[in-house]
Structure 1
């Protein structure tokens, strides 16, 4: 039993079929040897144990994949208690995938009824065991040799490890072996990643049609990557001299840090960050200095749910503040935890353990720590279990007084999921009269299941969405997200009554798109072709809110942006001194070339990138130019290699910041 799991949980393509067969035969021969060592009675238990383990492994991966569009990783075994909180979703997935669940149970059922009578006995000749051992080794070596001839497969087998990509290439059993191996002995070394190619040595393969009216892919070469509704222009002779803005950079003596560092890993990190060019300050630097900040991560949110009719407050915020025309939310692996980690730190990681891990490192640019240093009142609120994903550890380390269910927010009405609006009502008195304040909210009303029976908030608001021309599941999804609208409506009303609405900034993004919706429902909501939808970059487009009622006109962000860019953008808008080289995203209002790192669902391309010139899919090796961009094919290959090296280094060093507590080496006495 050895399956390669793709989007259809069973799809094998090309050479992957051969790899799976070879590694399966090797595993089968080896397990047969282990099950014939002892007396017959013990052998029966061993075989039974193997079959139970393998069956459970496949069943868990199936339900986990159907729930989170990702695969279970052994490194997250410590979060098992958290996952059991969502037993309703698991039960729903089991029922909806009953045929595959039963299919995976067949070997166990067959063995339990008939197989024990034919279990391997001690009498298996030694020569047979030797033959099986030799065959196991030969099959394994054949598989390894075949993988080595495939550059991409070899990359995921030996040079890096991605559970989702490994599943597609090698199947469940081999991926499990590799996962446990790297968990016990550490991940494969990333020291052989190519150096970042000097951009100055790469010819620009693009030319821009200046007459193009397209604004959906950004404006390469623009002064600040933004636009406003102000149509006033000045005559050439009265055009003022360009303003020279300084860099968003701190006084860090990297040369001294490099000279005095004994760790090769940390020294390499110092050298990398020293080599980066900082982003510049701009006309929006300090725009919100001194204002209050309400920062929200919206559970499973999609901008496609928002309409002026049903979401008037959120619609206003999305269209009258900083208007993001090309915003993306990547999947990093690990569902909500990794998305929230990115939104809160400006970094990314590939395991749901990231929040819990972050409790043990110094995070100077986490907004709670930043605003604490500015004598703000800081709180973080969540309307679910306070220990979930280790938030009780991570959020205080990010500078927040953390209050959630089980930790101060126990008087909320119990529903599944709980009400976002009610969370706002129960928490606003903590801070509304303690200006300046910064509060963080993690919502939960938008959590799966997206059915009227499985989501209490969807059921509550069913009448409001019944007229929509969508399936019931999409209607239920939009209905449960209405809690965000009513939460915002309430907060705006209370802030206005207190006379501090103009002095408050709202910032909102999501942890991930609503991947719990079925493919057909996603296609309907997004207006996309259902075939290959999980590899379609447009599925990962989303909304981002940066809004204050004090803004006189909207600011349109045309360049591509992502969740990684929120922290540096907010720091710049609030006039906070920070070092832009030490974060993975960039201030969207700067003149720095944008780059969006985009991971699609498990089984599809990872580490894709999007910039003002177009997008690149690492699986298909295809570059798609933006509208109005002409490509010189002769120099495109070198440019793609350059961009791939940029993304690879960001991945390497973002992971290392978390794994090595890097900021504590840069600021040994603390930044604030």
Structure 2
């Protein structure tokens, strides 16, 4: 009797101990995942204390319960193996996203992960960032290490979960997950809110801040596998002229004492949208697109239309270039082209999800990139009639493109020929020394003779000398030009950055020299912008170059756009403009036939209201700025709201709705190969 009782008590103790072990495991999983979310949150440049912190905790608990339920069907080493694998994979996801963010200031998507092999070319940068953030990474790996140590010291668990315990775990999952969904649906529904990220849009930085990393990656995977259409407001109805040469509906009244104002035709092509709508059939998305573009306001031609008609064109996307690189003594050619050309004092270069590739896509297509994919690569099988290579090749120009790094990085060997270029990069015909990074000057030296004697010509360059890291040891170009910046009154990082820009300056100096020697300098328009701001610089180094603390939502993305031709009359443009506006601007200057309704940018010389769109849905117009992070719209001093808007918030909401539409329809142009359906070229 005594022995039976003792056995019963021992059995009860083992059951209680096993149950306690299961409870402790659940708490450990919840705490580990939320701990990693916190580490990532601390290291991103977004708000820490917001409602997203609660949603991250609830989703972390839900994820932990899923893992816990999965392991309940295993025993012994099988359970340990499943726990170790899931915790290990989770840790690697957090650590890799942590490093990716530190380098690119965004998070990678499922699509980028599938094409992640190319990032190994930047292994030195990755290793540098790992060393720099070793303590943070050690904290991320701490839960996994603790798990492995504790499991190695503990006895093998033989505890069997009961269906009651599984039921309780499932109920807790429903409770936590349901609470998160309820909070999301009852809370703020504005842009970048948890609701917006969960149901409508895919902006990785805001999504991680509002929902946590694991939920953001789950949503990205779902959308990648199933397709994803954000919800947008109905397209507005705007009466605009629809055919070239048609004048606005209200003809200006002539004054007997003044010369009548010029009446300009809209920059549109002959597209019968009504017929296209009748042919759309059951394709609701296509019909929605036809309706939107039919009614969209076109830009009018202006005094600058055709000003450089027949000119050769050199278009450059310069890696990491910014207005901080324009220095009369250090980079005299950049200074000359800025101040003897068109000086845009209010130019912005927003960063997008795929840094360089998306920046290049915006500058060469006039479209907003689709989130979650490599838009430039995806466009490689589409009709791209408004890319300058295709526009100019269509009218007889020789069109060439060059990149002085690996030719197929970001699959440029697919995208750039489709933009209308005979394309060369390192590895498929461009003969420059393989350094890191490679020299822009060397690229100009081996390419200019291929086009300067063959007018009319158009050459496109994607440079690389300005690439991060901005250090003497890890950057060949910075080291090469180190002596030229050593005495400048800047931090080491800032000086190394300027050293890389000297190589770009020398490349442009050589280009201008060869254009002069060929006698075509005065008939060649040069347009240059960056792919993104120099995010490889620490914020302190950027502040050092600026001479003040740089505001991080708008000013951080302020940059330089060069528009220059030898002998042109210098002018200054204060109008707010961005890299999205480059293609419509050049198209108008060269007097090309294009349809301004089908591009998201605006001709920089037009009378249409300017609109600078940032990836987080912040914006700048001629009337004010909206910060989507703080949700604050600031009207410019003395600005007057357009007719039809009772309050500044009404105006802000209307602009935000139009921005949502532009994101949406840019995506649809890419997904549906829309230009092939409407442009006969």
- Normalization by structure 1: what TM-score? 0.89
Is 1:35 matched with 2:71?
Answer: yes
For 1:578, the equivalent position in structure 2 comes to 594
Is 1:161 matched with 2:202?
Answer: yes
Residue among 350, 363, 371 paired with 1:343: 363
**Given that residues 322 and 557 in structure 1 are in contact (C-alpha distance below 8 angstroms), is that contact kept between their aligned partners in structure 2?**
yes
Q: Once the 2 structures are TM-superposed, how far is the Cα of residue 243 of structure 1 from its aligned partner? A: 2.0
For 2:233, the equivalent position in structure 1 comes to 194
> In 2, distance between residues paired with 1:312 and 1:11?
40
Is 1:8 matched with 2:43?
Answer: yes
Is 1:145 matched with 2:164?
Answer: no
For 2:381, the equivalent position in structure 1 comes to 360
Q: Once the 2 structures are TM-superposed, how far is the Cα of residue 96 of structure 1 from its aligned partner? A: 1.0
For 2:169, the equivalent position in structure 1 comes to 132
**Given that residues 298 and 443 in structure 1 are in contact (C-alpha distance below 8 angstroms), is that contact kept between their aligned partners in structure 2?**
yes
User: Aligned-residue CA RMSD in angstroms?
Assistant: 2.0
Spell out the pairing of 1:170-209 with structure 2 (5 A cutoff): 170-187=211-228, 189-190=229-230, 192-196=231-235
Residue 589 of structure 1 aligns to a residue whose secondary structure is: coil
For 1:203, the equivalent position in structure 2 comes to none
> In 2, distance between residues paired with 1:147 and 1:40?
39
> In 1, distance between residues paired with 2:325 and 2:214?
39
> In 2, distance between residues paired with 1:70 and 1:184?
22
For 2:25, the equivalent position in structure 1 comes to none
Residue 115 of structure 2 aligns to a residue whose secondary structure is: helix
**Given that residues 107 and 205 in structure 2 are in contact (C-alpha distance below 8 angstroms), is that contact kept between their aligned partners in structure 1?**
yes
How many aligned positions are there? 621
> In 1, distance between residues paired with 2:155 and 2:534?
48
Spell out the pairing of 1:549-588 with structure 2 (5 A cutoff): 549-551=566-568, 553-588=569-604
> In 1, distance between residues paired with 2:148 and 2:391?
60
**Given that residues 37 and 122 in structure 1 are in contact (C-alpha distance below 8 angstroms), is that contact kept between their aligned partners in structure 2?**
no
**Given that residues 342 and 563 in structure 2 are in contact (C-alpha distance below 8 angstroms), is that contact kept between their aligned partners in structure 1?**
yes
Q: Once the 2 structures are TM-superposed, how far is the Cα of residue 655 of structure 1 from its aligned partner? A: 1.1
For 2:59, the equivalent position in structure 1 comes to 23
**Given that residues 52 and 210 in structure 2 are in contact (C-alpha distance below 8 angstroms), is that contact kept between their aligned partners in structure 1?**
yes
> In 1, distance between residues paired with 2:502 and 2:372?
30
Residue among 624, 642, 645 paired with 2:654: 642
CA 1:238–1:473 in structure 2 vs 1: closer, same or farther (change >3 Å)? farther
Structure 1 residues 310-365: Cα deviation after superposition (integer angstroms, max 9, x where no partner):
11111111112122121111122111011000001000113451111010110000
Q: Once the 2 structures are TM-superposed, how far is the Cα of residue 609 of structure 1 from its aligned partner? A: 1.3
Residue among 79, 85, 92 paired with 1:49: 85
Which protein is bigger by CA-based radius of gyration?
A: 2
For 2:321, the equivalent position in structure 1 comes to 301
Q: Once the 2 structures are TM-superposed, how far is the Cα of residue 372 of structure 1 from its aligned partner? A: 0.7
Structure 1 residues 529-579: Cα deviation after superposition (integer angstroms, max 9, x where no partner):
26xx432x111111101110131x213222110011100110111110111
| Deviating more after overlay: 576-585 vs 13-22 | 13-22
Residue 417 of structure 1 aligns to a residue whose secondary structure is: coil
> In 2, distance between residues paired with 1:347 and 1:41?
53
Residue among 600, 611, 627 paired with 1:617: 627
> In 2, distance between residues paired with 1:7 and 1:590?
43
| Deviating more after overlay: 265-274 vs 141-150 | 141-150
Q: Once the 2 structures are TM-superposed, how far is the Cα of residue 12 of structure 1 from its aligned partner? A: 3.2
> In 2, distance between residues paired with 1:653 and 1:275?
13
Q: Once the 2 structures are TM-superposed, how far is the Cα of residue 56 of structure 1 from its aligned partner? A: 0.4
Is 1:506 matched with 2:526?
Answer: yes
For 2:492, the equivalent position in structure 1 comes to 472
> In 2, distance between residues paired with 1:237 and 1:87?
72
Give unpaired runs (5+ residues) of structure 1. Answer: 201-235, 600-605
**Given that residues 254 and 271 in structure 1 are in contact (C-alpha distance below 8 angstroms), is that contact kept between their aligned partners in structure 2?**
yes
For 1:229, the equivalent position in structure 2 comes to none
**Given that residues 279 and 592 in structure 1 are in contact (C-alpha distance below 8 angstroms), is that contact kept between their aligned partners in structure 2?**
yes
For 1:244, the equivalent position in structure 2 comes to 263
Give unpaired runs (5+ residues) of structure 2. Answer: 1-32, 240-254
Is 1:64 matched with 2:64?
Answer: no
For 1:221, the equivalent position in structure 2 comes to none
Q: Once the 2 structures are TM-superposed, how far is the Cα of residue 628 of structure 1 from its aligned partner? A: 3.8
Residue 586 of structure 1 aligns to a residue whose secondary structure is: coil
Residue among 407, 424, 429 paired with 1:408: 429
Higher relative contact order (CA 8 A, sep 6+): 1
Residue among 344, 351, 364 paired with 1:331: 351
> In 1, distance between residues paired with 2:535 and 2:350?
12
**Given that residues 346 and 568 in structure 1 are in contact (C-alpha distance below 8 angstroms), is that contact kept between their aligned partners in structure 2?**
yes
| Deviating more after overlay: 169-178 vs 250-259 | 169-178
Is 1:387 matched with 2:401?
Answer: no
Structure 1 residues 103-157: Cα deviation after superposition (integer angstroms, max 9, x where no partner):
1111222222222436754523332222112211211111111121212321211
> In 2, distance between residues paired with 1:334 and 1:574?
30
For 1:123, the equivalent position in structure 2 comes to 160
**Given that residues 596 and 609 in structure 1 are in contact (C-alpha distance below 8 angstroms), is that contact kept between their aligned partners in structure 2?**
yes
> In 2, distance between residues paired with 1:62 and 1:118?
34
For 1:216, the equivalent position in structure 2 comes to none
For 1:544, the equivalent position in structure 2 comes to 561
Is 1:255 matched with 2:271?
Answer: no
> In 2, distance between residues paired with 1:617 and 1:121?
56
Q: Once the 2 structures are TM-superposed, how far is the Cα of residue 198 of structure 1 from its aligned partner? A: 6.3
Structure 1 residues 222-265: Cα deviation after superposition (integer angstroms, max 9, x where no partner):
xxxxxxxxxxxxxx998643222211111111111111112111
- Normalization by structure 2: what TM-score? 0.88
**Given that residues 47 and 119 in structure 1 are in contact (C-alpha distance below 8 angstroms), is that contact kept between their aligned partners in structure 2?**
no
CA 1:571–1:453 in structure 2 vs 1: closer, same or farther (change >3 Å)? same
For 1:76, the equivalent position in structure 2 comes to 112
> In 2, distance between residues paired with 1:175 and 1:335?
19
Is 1:110 matched with 2:146?
Answer: yes
Q: Once the 2 structures are TM-superposed, how far is the Cα of residue 626 of structure 1 from its aligned partner? A: 2.6
> In 2, distance between residues paired with 1:451 and 1:548?
34
For 2:287, the equivalent position in structure 1 comes to 267
Residue 383 of structure 2 aligns to a residue whose secondary structure is: coil
